[in-house]
Amino acid sequence: MNQVIISGKITGDINCELDKNTTTTKFKLLNMVYSPNRSSMIKTIVRCICYGALAEYVNNELYEGCNVICTGRIQYRRYISNNTAIDLMYVMCNTVSILEQEEYS
């Protein structure tokens, strides 16, 4: 229905929250797309959220600067505070895959 596939580098910290029943991990992806109209690269930061076993995998195995590809669905919310509207768009991840892995010696 609103399936999205997005790739990019993880920016910032990976935040893991443990609740009573579920584990939630939040991270941000830096996505770069070429715009032929501007003849330049456009940078977009996309918020991603994982739950359960996938959240634990992301928290343990991924790090800042790691290239990943995420599939999931887009979630959009609008909050109103102090008479200003705040729009949030994030991806609820179903899968997260590492695009490249560096070898440590």
pLDDT band, residue 10 (cuts 50/70/90): very high
The verdict on residue 83 lying in a domain is yes
The number of folded domains in the chain is 1
Q: What is the pLDDT of residue 1?
A: 64
Q: Which domain holds residue 20?
A: 3-98
Residues 51-99 pLDDT 10s = 999 999 999 988 888 899 999 998 888 888 888 888 888 899 999 988 8
**What is the rounded CA–CA span in Å between residue 20 and residue 15?**
17
Contacts of 4 (CB under 8 A, 6+ apart): 71, 72, 73, 74, 91
The verdict on residue 103 lying in a domain is no
Contacts of 94 (CB under 8 A, 6+ apart): 54, 71, 72, 73
Residues 22-56 pLDDT 10s = 899 999 999 888 888 888 888 988 999 999 999 99
Q: What is the pLDDT of residue 102?
A: 62
The verdict on residue 87 lying in a domain is yes
